[in-house]
Amino acid sequence: MDNLRSAWVREFNAGHAEKVAALYAPDAVLMRWDGTMHGRESIQALLQKSITNGAHDYVVHSLKSERSGAVGYESGAYNVTLRTRVVEGNYLIVVKNVKGQWWIVAHASTPNPQVR
């Protein structure tokens, strides 16, 4: 999980949407505040849109992760800098090992409410 998380953050912060999307299974699901994407191509398009719109400097803190056989999960907190503010939130990633390769099969992230 550490390697997968580190690669996700490193590649996103480098602006490589295609390399981040490559960490997802072909039929993965990404659920965010702005909608749900199904499949690696849709996920890549959404990640590219985020990068193009100025999202950068992701920082991720794992709070809990477990694995049982070929399935695992991790939950934690994140910060991401947008053009005008920093967004904090929580995430859950479900991974699956298929023929020796770990893939993200489901990923949900939810921003915390803004304090006014």
Q: Helix, strand or coil for residue 78?
A: strand
Are the C-beta atoms of residues 102 and 4 closer than 8 Å to each other?
A: yes
**Cα–Cα distance measured from residue 12 to residue 67, given in angstroms and rounded to the nearest whole number:** 25
Q: Where are the domains of the chain?
A: 2-111
pLDDT of residue 34: 83
pLDDT of residue 116: 65
pLDDT tens digit sequence for 93-110: 999 999 999 999 999 999
- As assigned by CATH, the class of the 2-111 domain is alpha beta
Of the candidates 101, 102, 85, 84, which has an alpha carbon nearest to the alpha carbon of residue 93? 102
pLDDT truncated to tens, each residue of the chain (116 aa)?
899 999 999 999 999 999 999 999 999 999 998 889 999 999 999 999 999 999 999 999 999 999 999 999 999 999 999 988 899 999 999 999 999 999 999 999 999 987 76
Residue 54: burial class (beta carbons within 10 Å; 0-12, 13-18, 19+): exposed
